[in-house]
């Protein structure tokens, strides 16, 4: 599975950061980026295996986003959430 942040939708509300500060961070534009295990930061598609956090916790963070800016896809690119 993969996760990304739609930067057009992200309003920097930071509820994802509150739930998973080790995975999400706001960049200088006030948009959420995903931090992988190696410390790389991007809003683009990131594989779960590179994040190293339980998929259910990521889904919980995605559900907390008021604008549904956190997009989760399966390995074939099919959208799982929202």
Kindly state whether residue 3 participates in binding ligand SF4, applying the rule CB under 6 A.
no
Kindly state whether residue 16 participates in binding ligand SF4, applying the rule CB under 6 A.
yes
The one segment of 34-42, 44-52, 65-73, 74-82 that binds ligand SF4 by CB under 6 A: 65-73
| Token reading at 74 | 């399966």
> In whole angstroms, what is the distance from residue 60 CA to residue 50 CA?
18
What 3-state DSSP class applies to 63? helix
Question: How far is the CA of 20 from the CAs of 17, 60, 62, 75, 78, in angstroms?
Answer: 5, 9, 10, 22, 24
- Taking the least distance from each CB to ligand SF4, the nearer of 49 and 67 is 67
Kindly state whether residue 72 participates in binding ligand SF4, applying the rule CB under 6 A.
no
Residues in contact with ligand SF4 by CB under 6 A are 5, 10-16, 24, 32, 65, 67, 69-70
């Amino acid at each position: 599975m993969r996760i990304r942040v739609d930067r057009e939708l992200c309003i920097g509300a930071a509820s994802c950061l509150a739930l998973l500060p080790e995975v999400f961070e706001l960049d200088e534009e006030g948009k959420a980026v995903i931090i992988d295990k190696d410390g790389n930061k991007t809003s683009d598609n990131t594989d779960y295996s590179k994040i190293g956090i339980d998929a259910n916790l990521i889904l919980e963070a995605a559900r907390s986003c008021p604008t549904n800016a956190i997009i989760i896809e399966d390995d074939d690119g099919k959208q799982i959430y929202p």
